[in-house]
Structure 1
Amino acid sequence: MTYQHVRVPDGDKIALADGRLQVPDRPIVPFIEGDGTGPDIWRAAVRVMDAAVAMAYGGRRKIAWMEVFAGQKSKDRFDTWLPDETVEAFREFLVGIKGPLTTPIGGGIRSLNVALRQLLDLYVCLRPVRWFKGVPSPVKHPEKVDIVIFRENTEDIYTGIEFEAGSEGAEKFLKMFREAFPKEFGKIRFPDTSGVGIKPVSREGSERLIRAAIKYAIDNHRKSVTFVHKGNIMKFTEGAFRNWGYTLAEHEFGDKVYTWDEWERTKKASGEEAANAEQKAALASGKILVKDAIADITLQQILTRPDEFDVIATMNLNGDYLSDALAAQVGGIGIAPGGNINYVTGHAVFEATHGTAPKYANLDKVNPGSVILSGEMMLRYLGWTEAADLIVKGMDGAIAAKTVTYDFARLMEGAREVKCSEFGEAVIGGMDGKPPVTPALALARKRGASVSRQSSVSSRKATKKAAPKKAAKKKAGKRRK
C-alpha cells in the first residue's frame, strides 16, 4: 500500500505462515505515540525496548519503528481522529504498539481504542497482572496476584449499539420490540424515558476467546482456567458463554483439561467422593482445571484469595472491571500492560492501559511502566523472549532500588523520585545488574558529596574553635581546685 502521511522505514514485514509468526531480524513495527503524556512515555519506553533488543542480540536484531497517527495529533494535522491508512498500516504490518489516546468529543467514533480493536477484529484483550517486588500495594499479599485475563474484545455492550432515551432510534426500537414481544416489553418499567442498549454474545465469539485462553494455559503451564460470568441473571448471554466454554474445553482439549461439568456428572452418577477423587487424579496427571465463577463473587475473591485464579476468560465488561481491579492490587494501571490480539490472523496491537493524563503532558513526570511492559509483551509475542526477559529484569532492578516516578515514590519509604525519562534509564541500567544512575541521581550524589565536604570542613573548623575553649575550661578547673 502507498501511504500519504506515513514514512515506511527500511525493514521487513512480519508475516504469518502455517499459523505462526515469521519475524525478520529487522521487523517494521507501527507505533502511535499517544496523546497527553503519550510522547513523554513513548520516548522512555522505546529507549528501553531498543536497549533490550540490542543487549539481547548484540546488533543482530533491531526494530524498524514506523510512526502512524491517531488521536489528537492526527486530528490537528489531518482533521481526522483515526485515518484509514493507520488502520491499514496495522493490518499490513501485523504487530504494533500504541500509547494512550484521547476520547473524541462529539459524534462519530466513541473510543479510538475500541474502534481499532473492532476494525482489526482483535478479539482478545490480554491483560497479565503480576506484582513487582517493592511496588506499593493496598493489599497485604500482592505477591499472590499472578493472573492472566483473556477479555473478549469485540462483543458485549462494547459494540456500542444503544439508543438515547427519547430519541427517534429509541422510539422505533421500543415500538418494534413492543409489537414483536409484548410480554417482554411489559417488563420495562419506564419505557417512555428509557435508553436502550443491545448486548450481543455469540457462540463463535465466545469460543475463539476461550480457545485462546485454554491454549495459553497449556503452553505456559498454568494450573486453571476460570470462566467469569453473570450467567445466574443473564442466562442466554453470559450463561451461554459459560456453557459454550465447557463444551469447547471438553471437545477440543479433553485430554488436557478436567472441567467442573465433568465433576458434576460424576457426582450425579457416583457421588461426591468419587467426583473429588476423579478431579484429584486428573490434576495430579497434569491436566488443567477448567471452572467458572460468578462475576461479583470473583471481584471479592480476587481480593481475599487471588492465588485461586490463574487464567481468566471472560466477556468484555467483566474483563474491564476485573483488569483494573487487579491492577490496583499490584501498583495501578500506570504499570499495567495490555495487548489486543487476533490469534488466527496474527494481528496484535499492544497498548498503554491508562488514560492520557493531559495535566502532566510534557512534564516528563508520569510512570512509563505500562507501555514498557506492553513492549515486553510485544517482544514475547514476536518470540524475542531474551529481550522481553531483560525488560522484566530491568523493571525488577529499578523498583528494587526504589528508583521510581512520583506515583510510587510518594508511597515508598526511602524512594528516590525520578522523571519519566530517568525511570527508563534506570530500567536499562537494571538489565545488566548495574545500579541505576540517572542524571538526577548523579546530581543528587554530587550535591551530597558537596554537603559532605562542607560538613567535613565545618567540623574541622569547629574542632579548632572548640580546642581553646576546652583548654580554658581545664585551666579554670585547676584554679577552682
Structure 2
Amino acid sequence: MPQNDVMHKITVIPGDGIGPEITAQVLRVLKHVNAPFSYEEAAAGEIALNTMGSLLPESTLESIARNKLAIKGPTTTPVGGGHKSINVSLRQKFDLYANVRPVRTLPNVPCVGQDVNLTIVRENTEDLYAGIERMVDDHTAESIKRITYKGSERIARYGYELAQKTQRKKVAIVHKANIMKMSDGLFLKTSLQVGQEFPQIETRDVIVDNACMQLVTKPQQFEVIVTQNLYGDILSDLCAGLVGGLGVVPGANIGRDIAVFEAVHGSAPDIAGQNKANPTALLQSAVMMLEHVGELKLAQDIMAALIKTLGDANARTADLGGHGNTVTFTDAIIQNLGR
C-alpha cells in the first residue's frame, strides 16, 4: 500500500518506436501496486511531429508544467532539419539541472562489471550543451563552453545531498581543470567548496580521462560522481556499458519543482510492435519516481520483484538471454509482486 494518501497526477509521454509498448507495461506495474498516481497522456517525438506538427507540442509542455511529474518513453529526434533534441529542450525549458543516472549490476544480466553500484549526477543545463556556437568562416566553427558558479554550486550540492540521503560515503568530482583552467577550474573550485560543508563524505577530484580508465578497471571504488554536462553524458553511457547497456539503467532529469523520469535508451524502431522490447530501464525510472515522492516501500517492492524475475530465463526478454517477451516479462514481475 502507498505510504501516504497524497495522489500525484503525472504526465505520461509514451514516445516513439518501442516507447508505447514499454510504457504500457510500466503503467500495468504501477497500477497493480496502487501507486498514488493518476495519469495524463501527452505526445512528444516523431509521433507528435506527424500528428500535431511539433516534436514537443505546447500542450505537452503545459501538462508537465501543471503536473510537475512526468515519465517519458524513448523519443526520436529526426536527423537534420534544425530539429532540437527533445531531452535538451525539456531540460532547458524547465531548468531540469540535475541528470541523475543510477548504475548498478543486476543479477542475471550479462555484463562486464561486477558489483557496480554508483550514481552519476550530471549538470544538465550549461557547458557545451547550451548550444552557443557559430561559424567563424566557411572552414571554422566555434562552440562556447559556458560554466557558471550557479550551475556548478547547485549540481554539486545536489550530488552531496543525494549522497547524504542515500548513505553514500564518497563523492568524486570529475573535471578537466588541468587543461581548461578557467571553466573546469571554476566547476572544480565551486564543487570542492560545497564538499567542505559535508565533512562526513570523502571527496576526491578525478580528471575525466583518468575517471574513464578507473571506471573500466575498478568501478566499485565510485559511489557518487558529480560532473559537467558533456563528461556526464559520456560517463553515463560508459557506466551503462559496464552493467549490461542502456536497456537496464534508469534516468531522471530533476529541477527545483519539476522532475521527468525517462528511458535513456533509444526508440528501437526495428523491433517496435513485435513484443520484444525490454521494459527494465523505464520500470526502474518509475521506481525512481516513487522514491522521489516518498513511496520507498513500493519502490523497494517493485525492485525486488524485478530482480526475482530476472532470475527466470523463461521470463527474461531475449536481449537478456531469456525466452520471454515484453508482456510475459511484465506478467512475471506482477506475479512476483503478489498482492
**One-letter amino acid of the counterpart of residue 161, structure 1:** I
Q: CA deviation at 1:299?
A: 0.7
After TM superposition, the structure 1 = structure 2 runs for residues 108-123 of structure 1, keeping only pairs within 5 Å, are 108-123=82-97
- Cα distance in 2 for residues equivalent to 1:296 and 1:42: 36
Task: Pick one of 31, 34, 46 that aligns with 2:12.
Answer: 31
Q: TM-score scaled by structure 1?
A: 0.67
**One-letter amino acid of the counterpart of residue 399, structure 1:** L
Task: Pick one of 118, 121, 129 that aligns with 1:150.
Answer: 121
Name the stretch that deviates more: 120-129 or 228-237.
228-237
Matched, 1:198 2:144: yes
Preserved CA contact (<8 Å) 2:55 2:77? no
Q: CA deviation at 1:138?
A: 2.4
Aligned to 1:235: 181
Matched, 1:396 2:319: no
Matched, 1:374 2:320: no
1:369–1:357 CA distance, 2 compared to 1 (3 A): same
Task: Pick one of 304, 307, 322 that aligns with 2:220.
Answer: 307
- Cα distance in 1 for residues equivalent to 2:329 and 2:261: 21
Q: CA deviation at 1:108?
A: 3.8
Task: Pick one of 206, 222, 244 that aligns with 2:190.
Answer: 244
Unaligned runs of 5+ in 1: 1-22, 55-60, 164-168, 172-191, 258-286, 410-415, 434-481
Aligned to 2:266: 355
Q: TM-score scaled by structure 2?
A: 0.95
SS in 2 for 1:417: coil
Task: Pick one of 105, 111, 114 that aligns with 1:131.
Answer: 105
1:204–1:396 CA distance, 2 compared to 1 (3 A): same
Q: CA deviation at 1:24?
A: 5.5
**One-letter amino acid of the counterpart of residue 323, structure 2:** E
Question: Of Structure 1 and Structure 2, which has the larger fraction of its residues in helix?
Answer: 1
**One-letter amino acid of the counterpart of residue 81, structure 1:** L
- Cα distance in 2 for residues equivalent to 1:368 and 1:376: 12
- Cα distance in 2 for residues equivalent to 1:62 and 1:294: 42
Task: Pick one of 157, 164, 168 that aligns with 1:222.
Answer: 168
Q: CA deviation at 1:49?
A: 1.9
SS in 2 for 1:290: strand
SS in 1 for 2:16: coil
Preserved CA contact (<8 Å) 2:22 2:279? yes
**Once the two structures are superposed, what CA deviation does each residue of 1:216-271 show, in whole Å capped at 9, x if it has no partner?**
11111101111001111111111221111112222xx1xx32xxxxxxxxxxxxxx
**One-letter amino acid of the counterpart of residue 29, structure 2:** V
Query: Percent identity, aligned pairs only?
Result: 38
Q: CA deviation at 1:422?
A: 1.3
Aligned to 1:407: 319
Task: Pick one of 208, 220, 242 that aligns with 1:295.
Answer: 208
Aligned to 1:422: 328
Aligned to 2:136: 170
Q: CA deviation at 1:346?
A: 2.3
Preserved CA contact (<8 Å) 1:49 1:376? no
- Cα distance in 2 for residues equivalent to 1:44 and 1:422: 10
Aligned to 1:41: 22
**Once the two structures are superposed, what CA deviation does each residue of 1:372-426 show, in whole Å capped at 9, x if it has no partner?**
00000001101111111111011111111232111111xxxxxx41111111111
**Once the two structures are superposed, what CA deviation does each residue of 1:419-453 show, in whole Å capped at 9, x if it has no partner?**
111111112222249xxxxxxxxxxxxxxxxxxxx
- Cα distance in 1 for residues equivalent to 2:129 and 2:57: 21
SS in 2 for 1:196: strand
- Cα distance in 1 for residues equivalent to 2:212 and 2:55: 35
- Cα distance in 2 for residues equivalent to 1:105 and 1:400: 39
**Once the two structures are superposed, what CA deviation does each residue of 1:176-206 show, in whole Å capped at 9, x if it has no partner?**
xxxxxxxxxxxxxxxx612211111111001
After TM superposition, the structure 1 = structure 2 runs for residues 58-137 of structure 1, keeping only pairs within 5 Å, are 62-137=36-111
Unaligned runs of 5+ in 2: none
Over the aligned positions, Cα root-mean-square deviation in angstroms equals 1.6
* Matched positions, count: 335
**Once the two structures are superposed, what CA deviation does each residue of 1:329-365 show, in whole Å capped at 9, x if it has no partner?**
11110011000001xx321000000011111111110
